[in-house]
Amino acid sequence: MTELLEPQRDREQAVAEYRRVRRWGWWYVAEHRIRSMRNYVGSLFIIGIGSPIMYLLGLGAGLGVLVNQNQGDNAVDGVGYLEFIAPALLLAGVMVTAAQESTFGVFGGFKWTPIFLGMRDTALTPAQIVTGFALGTMARYVPAACFYMIAMYAFGIIHGWGGLLMIPIAMLLGTAISTAVMAWVSTQRNDRGQLSFVERFVMTPLTLFSGTYFPLETLHEGLHWVGWISPLWHTAELGRLATYGSEQTLWLTVVHILYPVALAVAGWFLSVRHFTKRLTS
Amino acid sequence: MQQLHIEANQLTKRYGSFTAVDGIDFEIAPGESFGFLGPNGAGKSTTMRMIAATSLRSSGSLDVLGLDANDNGPAIRAQLGIVPQADNLDEELRVWDNLFVYGRYFGLPRKVVRQRADALLDFAQLQQKRQARVDALSGGMKRRLTIARALMNEPKIMLLDEPTTGLDPQARHVLWDRLFRLKDSGTTLVLTTHYMDEAEQLCDRLVVVDEGKIVAEGSPKELIRTYSTREVLEVRFGTAKNEEAAGRLAGIGDRIEVLPDRLLVYDDNGEQALTAVGERGLHPVTSLVRRASLEDVFLRLTGRSLIE
Ligand SMILES: Nc1ncnc2c1ncn2[C@@H]1O[C@H](COP(=O)(O)OP(=O)(O)OP(=O)(O)O)[C@@H](O)[C@H]1O
Ligand SMILES: [Mg+2]
């Protein structure tokens, strides 16, 4: 205790600590998030392992057989149905998890369990809080994506090194979704049901109309825009390129990368602005 | 001369057209313990938030540790311990983890954070609860944890917004003792409170604020001397009759204050005043002579009782 009550702290030490916060503050926020996840690490684990097996078995053994029979040699990209949907399934899972965590985590962080208000009272900046939160969210979907990827290898859906690229692609999508959702949620001061609305009526349609279960071209042309604005479609196309080398022109690949990047950057800036506004009065 | 820890000039905060803090001036020296007293809505918390640089002032100037508060929020907060009026602990984490993550926010190495977290659990008498989840703590325990958390970075200045609200008397006295020790060690304390005994105990100097303005300033003793008589006679005639009795007591003492449940007669000699009351043929149900306190100063200055 006496040590705690030292009169004046060594000035140099204080300056060094502050420097460390300037540089690493975002990491401390992520660390906090990860610590909170320990509480439900068990269920995260089960969901992480369970859902890829369920989806891949269900869709592969059931729907996949039917699709493959019907399509014969006309299969999309010339690969089996499971090869076609597996990368998109992985990414759809990432999207849902990132959206969920950013919706309820961020809303709750201002209201239910006001962790952001606690962080505000420290040497952290809103930018560090936003960055750290988006990074902490990765701790939820990256392990899940890894399980998915391993399951895909185990089921023989993917071969070769390309499949490993699913993880950076997942991080790209997750970050784009996290920051975009945070930018919106941080402006919401009361929950009148709009939070779950987003989950059901934004994320679900994005999954359905983003070329997850069938190629975007199959959709009526009037609905193609949904795919184009959906980072899920762009990253799923990247995933297909990475896992089985689907045919893709270079400029499309560039767009598929740049669009989620742009979304993530814009989402980050907006989130920082909204957090700043919310945390200062 | 040593640099002031906090210096405010014409400090003002407006919310739209409403002025919450209206051009106040104060200076707080290193190691001083300074209090803000005032009724609900006076602007105490707003002022505390401006010092913490989590609220930006509308006009005037405010320097904290030599830095302009509006431009140096994080650098200032690195040296502050902030105890907000409403606790904002992470309810999903355990007690010890709350201290740990908070300490990390100040760039402290894990080892240091662990040591301090343990020491502060002792300080807050929460050792037995170290593995409890915060949502399972009582209100007073949460308060103590919030205070312990604010000490993680060994702050130069502690900002305590109603630190002991919700604490039981024993916990309050323990906390006062801890705050004394902090003060002895040179930490500057800035606090708001609704408890007069707390202000008298802890504050070297205090200001009374009302409607965003400072209405009086001084040490507790000076304030009592300036704004009150030495003694106070409290008499009760029964709820309905106090008002009427007040009329008949006019002229006794320096001043008479009518409260809903009792009358306060201000006189340097309380017993003499009581005799005078009897001589006018009035027989209070109960009577009490006591020394004047800050409560009386407050009543005089704001026309309101402190605990509403
Ligand atoms: N964010 C805000 N927006 C608008 N008005 C505000 C805001 N915060 C505070 N106020 C107003 O400013 C005034 C001062 O509030 P403040 O919280 O500083 O009072 P206080 O002295 O701390 O009172 P209490 O003793 O009840 O804690 C109040 O009238 C309050 O309604
Ligand atoms: Mg207040």
Residues of chain B with Cβ-Cβ distance to A113 below 8 Å are 90-92
3-state secondary structure B96-145: HHHHHHHHHCCCCCHHHHHHHHHHHHHHCCCHHHCCCEHHHCCHHHHHHH
What is the per-residue pLDDT for B281? 87
Q: Indicate if the pLDDT at residue A120 is higher than 90.
A: yes
CB contact under 8 A, B151 and A4: yes
Confidence bin at B154 (pLDDT 50/70/90) = very high
Across the range A45-69, mean pLDDT stands at 77
Of B190, B214, B212, B187, nearest to B203 (Cα)? B190
pLDDT, averaged across chain B? 92
Across the range A155-171, mean pLDDT stands at 93
* Boundaries of every domain in chain A: 40-279
Of A276, A12, A123, nearest to B67 (Cα)? A123
Of A113, A123, A279, the CB nearest to B92: A113
Q: Indicate if the pLDDT at residue A9 is higher than 70.
A: no
CB-based pocket (< 6 A), ligand 1: A 281; B 15, 20, 38, 40-46, 85
Q: Indicate if the pLDDT at residue B134 is higher than 90.
A: yes
Q: Going by CA atoms, what residue is nearest to atom 29 of ligand 1?
A: B41
- % residues pLDDT > 70 (chain B): 98
Which ligand has the nearest atom to the CA of B41? 1
Token pair in block for residue B153: 């970075």
Are A173 and A231 a contacting pair, CB within 8 Å? yes
Q: B301 C-alpha vs ligand 1 centroid, how far in Å?
A: 20
Confidence bin at A227 (pLDDT 50/70/90) = confident
Q: Indicate if the pLDDT at residue B199 is higher than 50.
A: yes
Which ligand has the nearest atom to the CA of B55? 1
**What does pTM read for this prediction?**
0.90
What is the per-residue pLDDT for A267? 98
**Which residues pair with residue B21 across a beta bridge?**
B13
Q: Indicate if the pLDDT at residue A174 is higher than 90.
A: yes
Q: Indicate if the pLDDT at residue A1 is higher than 50.
A: no
CB contact under 8 A, B104 and A17: no
User: Given CB atoms, is B92 within the 8 Å cutoff of chain A?
Assistant: yes
Q: Indicate if the pLDDT at residue A4 is higher than 50.
A: no
Q: Indicate the angle between helix axes B220-227 and B294-302, nearest 10 degrees.
A: 60
Are B19 and B211 a contacting pair, CB within 8 Å? no
Q: Which residues contact A81 (CB under 8 A, 6 or more apart)?
A: A59, A60, A63, A64, A67, A68, A71, A75
User: Given CB atoms, is A31 within the 8 Å cutoff of chain B?
Assistant: yes
Token pair in block for residue B36: 């803000």
What is the per-residue pLDDT for B1? 53
Name which of A168-182, A207-221, B206-220 the model is least confident about: A207-221
- In chain B, the domains with their CATH numbers are 6-219 (3.40.50.300), 229-291 (3.30.70.790)
What is the per-residue pLDDT for A225? 83
Name which of B123-137, B233-247, B267-281 the model is least confident about: B233-247
Residues of chain B with Cβ-Cβ distance to A123 below 8 Å are 74-75, 77-78, 105-107, 153
What is the per-residue pLDDT for B305? 56
Quick one: which atom of ligand 1 is closest to the CA of B39?
Answer: 25
Q: Which residue has the higher pLDDT, B295 or B305?
A: B295
Across the range B288-297, mean pLDDT stands at 90
Rounded Cα gap, residues A147 and A93, in angstroms = 11
Q: Indicate if the pLDDT at residue B307 is higher than 90.
A: no
End-to-end CA distance of chain A: 35
Q: Which residue has the higher pLDDT, A42 or B45?
A: B45
Structure confidence by residue, pLDDT tens digits, A253-280: 999 999 999 999 999 999 999 999 999 9
Are B291 and B220 a contacting pair, CB within 8 Å? no
Q: Indicate if the pLDDT at residue B244 is higher than 70.
A: yes
């100097």: which residue's tokens? B205
What is the per-residue pLDDT for A172? 98
Confidence bin at B196 (pLDDT 50/70/90) = confident
Q: Which residue has the higher pLDDT, A76 or A187?
A: A187
Q: Which residues contact A156 (CB under 8 A, 6 or more apart)?
A: none
Rounded Cα gap, residues A155 and A122, in angstroms = 48
Name which of A216-230, B56-70, B143-157, B288-302 the model is least confident about: A216-230
Rounded Cα gap, residues A154 and A74, in angstroms = 26
Q: Going by CA atoms, what residue is nearest to atom 5 of ligand 1?
A: B15
CB contact under 8 A, A24 and B122: no
Confidence bin at A5 (pLDDT 50/70/90) = very low
Across the range B73-94, mean pLDDT stands at 95
Structure confidence by residue, pLDDT tens digits, A60-112: 777 777 777 777 666 777 788 888 999 999 999 999 999 999 999 999 999 99
